[in-house]
C-alpha cells in the first residue's frame, strides 16, 4: 500500500484483485518498474501526482519487476518503464518510457471520464434549457474540482459567454497552461469570442440584409452580415453569405471569407455542416 488512496504497490498475490477486478469499477494504470531504472524513478512520482490530480478517476498500481518477474513475463515486459491501462479486466492501451506530463494526460484522457466533466456536461444541459443560473453554479463547482481541465474550463467559458460576460470567459481561458490553448474546445471558444467582439459595433442582421438588397455587390456589407450571423449562432446562414462573397469577390479582404469559413469549421467541430460547406468552398477554390 501507499499513503494515497489511489496508488497501490501490487504483487502476484493481489494483482487480480487490485488490477483485474478493480478495473471493472474504474481504469487501473499499471506501472512496471525497477529500482535500478532511472527513467522509472522519474516517471513514478509523476504518475502518482496524476492519480491525485484525477481524484480517483483511475487507480495506479506499481509492480516492481525485480520482485515480480512472473508478472513481468506474463505481461510481456521487455523494457521498462512499461505502463499498461486496464479497463474491464483487459489491457486497452499502453506506453513505454518516461513520457512528458502533457502526453500522459492526453493518454489518460482518451480513456478516463472525470466527475468534473460529468458535472460540466450537466451544466451545459442546463444552459440549453435556458437555466443560466443553475448552469453557472454547476460549472463553477466543476472548475473548483478540476481547474486545469480544458474541457471544464471551456464549458465555463461557454456559459459565461451565454451570460454576456465575454471578458470573464477570456480570463478563464487565459489561466489555462499554454499547451492547453490548442485544445479544440478552447480554440472553438476563442473563435466564438473573436466573432462576438468583431460584431459588437455592427448593425443588426436585418438592417444589413436590407442594405445588401439595395447594394448586392457590396462585399464589405456581406462580410459584416456573415460576422453578425455567426455571432448570433446562425452559423449556416453565415456560411451561405461567405460562399456568396467568395463567388462574387473571392479575394476580398485578403481572402477574408475563406478564412472566416475555416474558423467556423473549427467552431462547428464534427457538425455535418462542416463537410457540406467544406466541399462547396473547395469547389470555388479549385
According to DSSP, residue 203 is labeled: P
Query: Taking Cα atoms as reference points, which of 91, 95, 1 lies closest to residue 39?
Result: 95
Question: What residues contact residue 282 under an 8 Å CB cut-off, 6+ apart?
Answer: none
Q: Which residues are catalytic?
A: 37, 40
CA atoms in the 13 A half-sphere facing the CB of 109:
15
Yes or no: say if 90 and 36 are a contact pair by the CB < 8 Å rule.
no
Yes or no: say if 198 and 225 are a contact pair by the CB < 8 Å rule.
no
Yes or no: say if 50 and 108 are a contact pair by the CB < 8 Å rule.
yes
* Count of Cβ atoms closer than 10 Å to residue 126 Cβ: 19
* Count of Cβ atoms closer than 10 Å to residue 73 Cβ: 11
Yes or no: say if 33 and 81 are a contact pair by the CB < 8 Å rule.
yes
Amino acid at each position: 500500500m501507499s499513503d494515497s488512496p489511489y496508488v497501490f504497490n501490487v504483487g502476484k498475490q493481489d494483482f487480480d484483485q487490485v488490477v483485474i477486478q478493480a478495473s471493472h469499477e474504474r481504469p487501473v494504470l499499471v506501472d512496471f518498474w525497477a529500482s535500478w531504472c532511472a527513467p522509472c524513478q522519474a516517471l513514478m512520482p509523476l504518475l502518482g501526482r496524476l492519480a491525485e490530480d484525477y481524484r480517483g478517476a483511475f487507480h495506479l498500481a506499481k509492480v516492481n519487476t525485480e520482485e515480480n518477474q512472473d508478472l513481468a513475463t506474463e505481461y510481456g515486459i521487455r523494457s521498462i518503464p512499461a505502463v499498461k491501462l486496464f479497463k474491464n479486466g483487459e489491457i486497452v492501451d499502453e506506453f513505454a518510457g518516461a513520457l512528458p506530463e502533457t502526453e500522459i494526460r492526453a493518454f489518460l484522457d482518451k480513456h478516463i471520464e472525470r466527475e468534473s466533466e460529468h458535472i460540466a456536461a450537466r451544466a451545459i444541459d442546463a444552459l440549453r434549457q435556458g437555466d443560466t443560473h443553475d448552469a453557472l453554479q454547476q460549472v463553477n463547482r466543476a472548475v473548483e474540482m478540476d481547474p486545469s481541465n480544458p474541457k471544464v474550463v471551456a464549458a465555463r467559458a461557454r456559459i459565461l459567454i451565454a451570460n454576456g460576460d465575454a471578458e470573464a470567459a477570456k480570463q478563464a481561458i487565459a489561466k489555462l497552461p499554454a499547451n492547453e490553448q490548442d485544445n479544440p474546445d478552447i480554440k472553438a471558444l476563442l473563435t466564438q469570442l473573436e466573432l462576438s467582439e468583431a460584431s459588437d459595433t455592427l448593425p443588426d442582421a436585418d438592417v444589413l440584409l436590407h442594405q445588401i438588397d439595395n447594394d448586392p455587390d457590396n462585399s464589405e456589407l456581406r462580410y459584416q452580415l456573415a460576422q453578425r450571423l455567426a455571432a448570433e449562432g446562425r452559423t449556416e446562414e453565415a456560411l451561405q453569405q461567405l460562399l456568396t462573397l467568395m463567388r462574387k469577390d473571392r479575394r476580398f479582404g485578403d481572402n477574408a471569407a475563406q478564412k472566416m469559413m475555416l474558423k467556423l469549421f473549427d467552431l462547428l467541430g464534427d457538425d455535418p455542416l462542416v463537410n457540406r460547406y467544406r466541399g462547396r468552398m473547395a469547389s470555388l477554390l479549385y
